[in-house]
Amino acid sequence: MTMLGRQYDTQVCSIARALEVVGERWSLLVIRDAFLGVRRFDDFQRSLGVARNVLQSRLERLVEEGILERRLYQERPPRHEYRLTDRGVDLWPVIFALMKWGDRHAYPDGPPVVAIHRGCGGEVDEHRICRKCGCPLEARDVQPRPGPGARANAAALHPALA
């Protein structure tokens, strides 16, 4: 079996180019965790359970692509955290759509995570509209909370939501 490379040189296609940047599962899960508030290498590693070298490679790639930025938070010894850039925040509709697809097809007892509108506390629907006040929402307007599916899967609940 041959592995697909990261480059799609014969494809003049926005989807192919986006996949070059974020199409690997660990990259998407790093981005998901960043949206959930994870910032530090050890916290990403603990949350994802991925090998440290794989995580380092994904973080470096996401920084190179301008999805994340590396910020110094401690000088001695030097320690960095990773924050979503505006370009990274622009991925929120994609991550949200994947989450909603997974909710619909993988969690019949209810989603493990629900998105709540910070402004009024209403739940966010699949179109990123608050069900309570009708406001269209962006990433910074929303906060994650454990959903009904989290109770059924409490041991696997994401650490950022525990």
Spans of all domains in the chain: 25-88, 91-161
Distance from C-alpha of 89 to C-alpha of 117, rounded to nearest angstrom: 16
Phi, psi torsion values for 68, nearest 5 degrees: -120, 155
Distance from C-alpha of 100 to C-alpha of 103, rounded to nearest angstrom: 5
Question: Is 80 exceeded by the pLDDT of residue 10?
Answer: no
Distance from C-alpha of 145 to C-alpha of 162, rounded to nearest angstrom: 9
Give the model's confidence band at 3: pLDDT under 50 very low, under 70 low, under 90 confident, else very high: very low
Specify the fold of 25-88: Arc Repressor Mutant, subunit A (1.10.10)
Cis peptide before 111 (omega within 30 of 0): no
- C-alpha distances (whole Å) from 57 to each of 27, 41, 77, 158 are 9, 12, 21, 22
Query: What pLDDT does 149 receive?
Result: 85
Question: Is 70 exceeded by the pLDDT of residue 153?
Answer: no
54-73 pLDDT, tens digit each: 999 999 999 999 999 999 99
Specify burial of residue 55 (Cβ count, 10 A radius: 0-12, 13-18, 19+).
buried
Query: What pLDDT does 4 receive?
Result: 46
Q: Angle at Cα 12 formed by Cα 93 and Cα 57, nearest 5°?
A: 60
- Nearest alpha-carbon partner for 88 in 70, 106, 100: 70
